[in-house]
Amino acid sequence: MRITIVGGGNIGTQFAVHCAEKQHEVIVYTSCPELFDRHLTIIDDNGISTHEGDIKLATNDPEQAFRNADVIIVTAPATLMKSIAELIYKNSNPNTILGVVPGNGGSECAFRKCIERGNVFFGIERVPAIARLVQKGKTVRSIGYRDELHVAALPKDNALECAEIISSIFGIKTKVIPNYLNLTMTPSNPILHTSRLRSIFGEWKPGMVYDTLPLFYEEWDDSSSELLLACDDEVQAICRALPEFDLGYVKSLRVHYDSPTVESMTKKLSSIQAFKGLKTPMVECEGGFIPDLHSRYFTADFSYGLTIIKQVADFAGVRTPNIDETMSWYKDIAIENNHFSFEDYGIKDLNSFRDFYLQ
């Protein structure tokens, strides 16, 4: 197939390598094509090459990237999804299969015009493996490959075809999820990152400087777990209030991490090998550190993550005090006003919400 990968970062490079390794014709659409070699490599924690392949081209020309693609997979952040969707709408055709990874962040709404003209659209619940660039345009380290991936599509009847594509690329069993809303509600970064950030920076005000900051996961504490589990419980309450959407695949983090209590969740998250060494998003300044409010942990996971869950809760009529307080805290310190709104895509009430997600 002719596959275009949008984004030349961690996940984009990982996808490009696996697609090229399977002899697909791969184009990487990136803002810095000059940094890309044709030959890309995935290595493991020991620096040993595990996957490699040759891409056809890296380019920043949308027509060149999208015009003849059979499949386009978008790995860009949620904050860029609306503009990328518009470029793809203008430069691709209705027969192109469009995918995003991960599948939350409101991307399905950003691609609504493409879906309405006939494009099949799919999302992957979580990334196939943890990926970290070693050298941009050349090498990425990927560890912790999942045993199973989950895919959902709009329209939903096309999900099996999309799952087969992903399974063939990664060699990982890929299961179809019955309704795309399962991906939208996946309680990963939208509650994982936001709970931790509020726990760390809950008392922060402009002008306040920290001498040191904890590692994001390795020094995870019980206060972070307590808020995380409270938000996780609220997500599950939203899912129970929307039985017609078949949201049984929105797995509680208590189950996902096999950690039903505050103490067990803290122990689990602080010991995951793939998360070792990850720093709290911060900016060094005179006297210490302040939160990096431009980090995706802030700009994406609140404004294109937690806010979506909150809006779904409002459609469902479910109270979410912990999510509300966390969003309110973020709005008080946010320096960017961009945020996702269902209303921007004509979804204004439960009826229009149903019409979109039950197609």
Determine the Cα–Cα distance for residues 235 and 187; give it in Å rounded to an integer. 7
Question: Same domain, yes or no, for 203 and 167?
Answer: no
Domain of residue 275: give its range: 185-357
Asked whether the beta carbons of 135 and 10 are under 8 A apart, the reply is: no
**Rounded (5°) CA angle 38-42-47:** 125
Give the amino acid at 16. A
* Number of domains into which the chain is organized: 2
pLDDT of residue 338: 85
Contacts of 196 (CB under 8 A, 6+ apart): 216, 220, 224, 228
Closest CA to 236 of 219, 255, 222, 209: 255
List the CATH number of the domain containing 267. Answer: 1.10.1040.10
Q: What is the rounded average pLDDT for all residues in the chain?
A: 95
- Asked if residue 290 and residue 201 are part of one domain, the reply reads yes
| 41/139 same-domain check | yes
> Do 121 and 193 share a domain, yes or no?
no
The residue from 154, 183, 212 where one domain ends is 183
Distance of CA 59 to the CA centre of its chain: 23
Cα angle vertex 106, ends 290, 230, to 5°?
A: 60
Residues 84, 24 share a domain = yes
Give residue 359's pLDDT.
83
SS3 category, 165: helix
- Judgement on whether residues 143 and 34 belong to the same structural domain of the protein: yes
Tell the residue number behind the tokens 């991936």, with chain if given. Answer: 149
Over residues 235-241, mean pLDDT: 97
Summarize the confidence of residues 228-243 as an average pLDDT.
Answer: 97
Tell me the mean pLDDT in the region 48-65.
Answer: 97
Domain end position, chosen among 156, 183, 210: 183
- Distance, in Å, from the CA atom of 132 to the CA atom of 184, rounded to the nearest integer, reads 24
Last residue of a domain, one of 137, 162, 183: 183
85: CATH: 3.40.50.720
| Token pair in block for residue 51 | 């996957």
Q: Are residues 178 and 208 in the same domain?
A: no
Are residues 179 and 165 located together in one domain of the fold? Answer: yes
Closest C-alpha among 87, 75, 79 to residue 338: 79
What are the pLDDT digits (tens) for 117-166? Answer: 999 999 999 899 999 999 999 999 999 899 999 999 999 999 999 999 99
Tokens of 209: 């400087």
Query: Does residue 84 share a domain with residue 128?
Result: yes
H runs (alpha helix) in the chain? 10-21, 62-66, 81-91, 107-110, 112-117, 159-170, 181-184, 189-201, 222-240, 253-256, 262-269, 296-299, 307-316, 321-333, 350-357
Q: Give the pLDDT of residue 40.
A: 97
Q: Are 210 and 288 in contact (CB under 8 A)?
A: yes
Contact 298, 281 (CB under 8 A): yes
Count Cβ neighbours within 10 Å for each residue of 155-172 and write b for 16 or more, e otherwise: ebebbeebbebbbebbeb
Token output for 32: 């810095």
Residue 342, pLDDT > 90, answer yes
Which pTM was predicted? 0.90
User: How big is the CA angle at 120 (ends 119 and 125), to the nearest 5 degrees?
Assistant: 135
User: Residue written as tokens 């479910």?
Assistant: 318
Three-state secondary structure call for residue 100: strand
Q: Which CA distances in Å does 127 have to 133, 146, 225?
A: 15, 8, 23
Cβ atoms of residues 58 and 36 within 8 Å: yes
Residue 261 to residue 225: CA distance in whole angstroms: 8
Percent of the chain with pLDDT over 90: 94
**Gyration radius of the chain over CA positions:** 20
Claim to verify: residue 194 and residue 312 sit in the same structural domain: yes
Which tens digit of pLDDT belongs to each residue from 260-286? 999 999 999 999 988 889 999 999 999
pLDDT of residue 19: 98
Same domain, 95 and 194: no
- Return the amino acid letter for 267: K
Q: Cβ contacts of residue 102 below 8 Å, gap of 6+?
A: 123, 124, 125, 126, 127, 183, 186, 188
**Does residue 52 surpass a pLDDT of 90?**
yes
Q: Does residue 336 register a pLDDT over 90? A: no
